[in-house]
């Protein structure tokens, strides 16, 4: 029996370590908190409004009170920017709207330089400037594309292919839509337009089509006359051959 406790696990008494504070905790006048902690406590402290029974009847009335009393301030500089933006819209036959993601200036500068070399200009306007510039004009529908400040590219339609090639180098610039010859186009329509041939090539193709149509009409009109002339020639040959044969028979 004496060997049983040695085989089984033995229970041990826990070790207690007593520790005593040097003084009592001051609950009534605690030590001031750290600056960051006190700042957080002040910011998160709730603000309670006075109860309704303490307010007057005039303050409780909400009829005729506008929620937003923000006064519109006439800014001359904004009017200048709006006039400049409208001039760009009127003088440019191609306007492309972009959505700019996060991009640094090192990646943006080569894009600006490439656009400048190809006679295209990039501008950045906000929603308020676009609203002031296009309200009451034929470009008023483009206001739905703006939420905040946004980039626009102004140029000529023949440079749309070069523009798409340049923007392939910057995936942060996403094409939303565009205006070409007073027609609003989506991104897919802009890509289809860029694959069209040059205006000189299209004119030469149109001239060749018109010329082929005219020559075919002339050929169809002359076909009956040529057939008649051919039949008359054959008839004349047959008559001349028969007359010669009759002369030989008489001889």
**123 or 61: whose pLDDT is higher?**
123
> Given a cut of 60, is residue 2 above it in pLDDT?
no
Please check the confidence at residue 116 and state whether its pLDDT lies above 80. Answer: yes
Candidates 129, 110, 203, 114; CA nearest to 159 is 114
Q: What is the pLDDT of residues 39-79, one digit of tens each?
A: 999 999 988 888 888 888 877 777 655 555 566 778 889 99
CB atoms inside a 10 Å sphere around CB 155: 20
pLDDT band at 154 (very low <50, low <70, confident <90, very high): very high
Average pLDDT over residues 164-181: 88
Q: What is the DSSP string of 84-125?
A: HHHHHHHH-SEEEEEEE-S--HHHHHHHHHHHHHTT-EEEEE
Q: How many CA atoms lie within 13 A of 195 on its CB side?
A: 5
CB atoms within 10 A of CB 114: 17
Question: 179 and 152 in contact (C-beta within 8 Å)?
Answer: no
Could you read off the pLDDT of 15-39 as tens digits, one per residue? Answer: 766 666 566 777 788 888 899 999 9
For the ranges 74-78, 116-120, 126-130, 220-224, which has the lowest average pLDDT?
220-224
CA atoms of 225 and 181, how far apart (whole Å): 48
Structural domains of the chain in order of their starting residue, each with its CATH number: 76-194 (3.30.70.1730)
Instruction: Give the model's confidence band at 11: pLDDT under 50 very low, under 70 low, under 90 confident, else very high.
Output: low
């Amino acid at each position: 029996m004496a060997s049983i406790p040695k085989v089984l696990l033995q229970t041990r008494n826990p070790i207690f370590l007593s520790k005593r504070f040097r003084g009592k905790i001051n609950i009534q006048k605690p030590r001031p908190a750290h600056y960051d902690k006190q700042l957080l406590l002040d910011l998160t402290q709730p603000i309670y409004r006075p109860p309704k029974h303490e307010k007057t009847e005039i303050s409780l009335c909400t009829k005729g009170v506008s929620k937003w009393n923000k006064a519109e301030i006439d800014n001359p500089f904004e009017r200048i920017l709006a006039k400049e933006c409208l001039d760009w819209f009127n003088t440019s036959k191609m306007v492309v709207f972009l959505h700019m993601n996060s991009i640094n200036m090192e990646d943006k500068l080569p894009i600006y330089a490439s656009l400048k070399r190809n006679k295209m200009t990039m501008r950045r306007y906000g929603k308020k400037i676009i609203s002031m510039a296009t309200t009451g004009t034929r470009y008023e529908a483009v206001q739905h594309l703006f939420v905040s400040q946004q980039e626009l590219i102004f140029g000529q339609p023949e440079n749309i292919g070069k523009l798409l090639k340049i923007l392939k180098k910057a995936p942060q610039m996403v094409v939303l839509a565009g205006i070409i010859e007073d027609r609003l186009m989506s991104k897919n329509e802009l890509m289809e337009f860029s694959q069209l041939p040059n205006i000189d090539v299209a004119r030469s193709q149109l001239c060749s089509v018109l010329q082929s149509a005219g020559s075919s009409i002339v050929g169809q009109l002359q076909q009956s006359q040529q057939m008649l002339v051919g039949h008359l020639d054959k008839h004349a040959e047959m008559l001349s051959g028969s007359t010669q044969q009759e002369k030989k028979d008489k001889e």
